[in-house]
Amino acid sequence: MAKHKLIIDCDTGTDDAVALMLAALHPEIDLIGVTTVFGNAPLTATTANSISVLDLIGRSSIPVHAGMPRPLVRKTMPSERFFKTDTTADPHGTYLDIPRSSRQATSNRAVDWLIETYRNATEPITLMPIGPLTNIAAAVAQEPKFAEWVPRLIIMGGGHEVPNMTPSAEFNVWADPEAAASVFEAGFKDVLMVPLDATHRALVTAEQCAALGALGTPAGKATETFVTRRINSYEEMQKMDIPNSAPVHDALCVAALVEPDIITTRRHHVAVETTGTLTLGRTVVDTHFRGGKEPNAAVAFDANAQRFVDLMMEIFAKS
């Protein structure tokens, strides 16, 4: 029997796609459902991408519930680019380079589904948000006991020394800062934050990408396609310390679920800046315990890059 029951809340996206495949194919994970949110692309595309990825690897029985199309408060954030509803035109490359599934979302009530699933859960189910935190914050707002019911929350988001959206903020948190702030304040009992500081320590190189593709499996080949796209875009916009490499942020969260030692963490208090202009969406990690507040999260600062790639090689070799 799988050791970890898991729900992934995602904005699929190339790195979300790798995370979904790793979770859906790992024998120790039972991915019981996927919820989607706007983010890397409009909700219509993140939902279609999630379904297409699962279908590609033969996991079409995993339900996908569409969630929030916009941030909780900021109706014009992040920008119009993220809210286009046209499903045919693809001006920003928001669809993944894999066959588009005709399967529809199981529902468009992801927040209700999350609440009901945790209300009725008889076993622990880890919740892993790897996109903007809008669905999770909406569930917290709608059901006061939601945070209490979730045994473990693993968040890909934030950055202490490494930003990627503004000089100070990471995308998932920046895209809905009020949602992120409320999630960190909600009292979830076990929070792991995997920020850019850790994901940038687990870069995947072009050579490793080719080796994943050479596995010849649907997951291996798709990972090569997705990560190559990431490497090309990082080479163009933000060169990494290792030439021809890219972080695959979201998949590191899945790796950390099954192999906790793959990351190195410290416990700190984390809050989200919602009022600053320069610092909007910054995760303020109290690394030197200056704020007088108890730690509310384990924060990952480092990762074992080789083990991360080896894990993907092992899991994607099989399907």
CB of 229 to ligand RIB, least distance (A): 12
Q: Judged by CB under 6 A, which of 15, 55, 176, 197 binds ligand RIB?
A: 15
In this structure, are residues 83 and 71 in contact, taking their beta carbons and an 8 Å threshold? no
Interaction of residue 13 with Ca ion, rule CB under 5 A: yes
Instruction: Tell which one of 21, 25, 66, 130 touches Ca ion (CB under 5 A).
Output: 130
C-beta of residue 72 within 8 angstroms of C-beta of residue 180: no
Binding-site partner at residue 82 among Ca ion, ligand RIB, none, CB < 5 to 8 Å by type: none
Tokens of 194: 């995997």
Looking at the DSSP assignment, which residues form a beta bridge with residue 192?
Answer: 154, 298
**Is 11 an annotated catalytic residue?**
yes
User: What CA–CA distance (Å, rounded) separates 186 from 296?
Assistant: 10
Binders of Ca ion in range 134-153 (CB under 5 A): none
Judged by beta carbon, residue 143 or residue 170, the one nearer ligand RIB is 170
Q: List binders of ligand RIB among 157-216 (CB under 6 A).
A: 164, 170-172
Chosen residue from 4, 5, 8, 13 binding ligand RIB by CB under 6 A: 13
Q: Which of 22, 45, 111, 130 binds ligand RIB (CB under 6 A)?
A: 130
Q: Out of 9, 16, 55, 197, name the contact with Ca ion by CB under 5 A.
A: 16
How far apart (Å, rounded) are the C-alpha atoms in residues 302 and 178?
27
Least Å distance, CB 297 to ligand RIB, is: 17
From the list Ca ion, ligand RIB, none, pick the one residue 70 interacts with, judged by a Cβ distance below 5 to 8 Å according to partner type.
none
Instruction: Work out what residue 217 binds among ligand RIB, Ca ion, none; the CB cut-off runs from 5 to 8 Å by kind.
Output: none
Cβ distance to ligand RIB smaller for residue 11 or 178? 11
- Which of 6, 9, 16, 36 contacts ligand RIB by CB under 6 A? 16
Cα separation, 55 vs 53, whole angstroms: 5
Residues forming contacts to ligand RIB in the complex (CB under 6 A) are 11, 13, 15-16, 39-40, 130-131, 156, 164, 170-172, 249-250
Active site residues: 11
